[in-house]
Amino acid sequence: MVRWRSTGDKAPEILVASAMSVNDRGVPSGARLVQCSALTRPFATLALAIAALSMWPVAAAGQDPPPRIGPVVADLHLTVPRFPSEQQLADSRSLALRELPGTGLGLHAGAHVYLLKWKAVTFGLGGDFTLARAHVPARLIAVDQLGRAVTERFTHVAPELSFNFGSGNGWSYVSGGIGPSTWSIVPDGTTASSASTERIRTINYGGGARWFAKRHVAFSLDVRFYAIDPGAPDPGRPGGPRTTLLIIGGGVSIK
């Protein structure tokens, strides 16, 4: 038996006993009193939990081991992209800064196969597809200036390597990949410039988690950054900037 005892102004004490009998003062026979002068309450509580768990090794050993991660998982997420608002980006598309749409909505889909486990890490290989869109209607952006309606789109596809931690009941991961993207920012009713159709090298990296409430279906969350290379300039315009796009998504995973 393990018991926490507070002693007022003194350091907290942990009472550890191997027998369940008690004496007339309510102290178990064979008890050892440990004073935690170097521990704060959170650390002492942790020590208490570890000591308590160590008293039931047979029960812990009798439990079935958790299932392994995988072997195959597919994700589908609704996402919120945070498109950057930078003057160079606006200049590369001949737009005013306040004409850039900003935050939008999108979809993220991916699939991974888990083939190898080493110690606490399970390695996964797969790929992902990202589609994001934002739109801003025509509106006044200054006292005497009407901003145009503009639609912004981002697409990206890439193979991915993931490092996964946990069990088949739920796990966290970090992952990344490299692939092409297109980043289109076009006023409604106009033709897209070459800057909006160019394929740009993009590195994606991020992480998330999957929680399996049912055997094959989980809620999942993903936070991902897209490091986008500079774009080539159109005649009379600067090239697109080197920038990072943040996309946060949540949805379902199926294994």
The closest alpha carbon to 44, from 76, 81, 2, belongs to: 2
Which one of 40, 61, 82 terminates a domain?
A: 61
Starting at the edge strand found earlier in the chain, the sheet holding 13-16 runs: 2-5, 13-16, 32-35
Residues 249, 211, single domain; the answer is yes
Residues 135, 26, single domain; the answer is no
The closest alpha carbon to 162, from 131, 204, 130, 201, belongs to: 204
Residues 117, 39, single domain; the answer is no
Domain of 46 in residue numbering reads as 2-61
Residues 47, 80, single domain; the answer is no
Residues 104, 31, single domain; the answer is no
Is residue 123 domain-resident? yes
C-alpha 43/C-alpha 225 separation (Å) is 36
Whether the model clears a pTM of 0.95, i.e. scores above it, the answer is: no
Residues 56, 87, single domain; the answer is no
C-alpha 72/C-alpha 112 separation (Å) is 6
Phi-psi region of 222 (alpha: psi -120 to 50; beta: other; left: phi over 0): beta
pLDDT digit string (tens) for the chain, length 255 residues: 444 454 454 444 444 444 444 455 554 454 444 444 444 454 444 444 444 433 434 334 457 788 999 999 999 999 999 999 999 999 999 999 999 999 999 999 999 999 899 999 999 999 999 999 999 999 888 888 899 999 999 999 999 999 999 999 999 999 999 999 999 999 999 999 999 999 999 999 999 999 998 999 999 999 999 999 999 999 889 999 999 999 999 999 999
Which one of 16, 41, 61 terminates a domain?
A: 61
The first and second tokens of residue 11, run together, are: 């350091």
C-alpha 30/C-alpha 32 separation (Å) is 7
Is residue 159 domain-resident? yes
Residues 33, 124, single domain; the answer is no
- Provide the terminal-to-terminal Cα distance of the chain, rounded to the nearest Å: 42
Number of structural domains found in the chain: 2
Residues 50, 83, single domain; the answer is no
The closest alpha carbon to 210, from 177, 174, 173, 159, belongs to: 173
Cβ atoms of 163 and 171 closer than 8 Å: no
Residues 228, 115, single domain; the answer is yes
**Residue 143: what pLDDT?**
82
DSSP code per residue over 54-109: TT-HHHHHTSPPPPPS-SEEEEEEEEEEE----HHHHHHTT--GGGS--B-EEEEE
Which one of 61, 92, 112 terminates a domain?
A: 61
The first and second tokens of residue 187, run together, are: 């006023």
Residues 97, 50, single domain; the answer is no
Cβ atoms of 113 and 70 closer than 8 Å: yes
**Residue 201: what pLDDT?**
98
Is residue 66 domain-resident? no
The first and second tokens of residue 214, run together, are: 């049912």
Question: Of all residues in the chain, what percent are helix, strand and coil, respectively (each to 5)?
Answer: 10, 55, 35
Is residue 67 domain-resident? no
Residues 55, 82, single domain; the answer is no
**Residue 144: what pLDDT?**
84
Cβ atoms of 158 and 185 closer than 8 Å: no
Is residue 88 domain-resident? yes
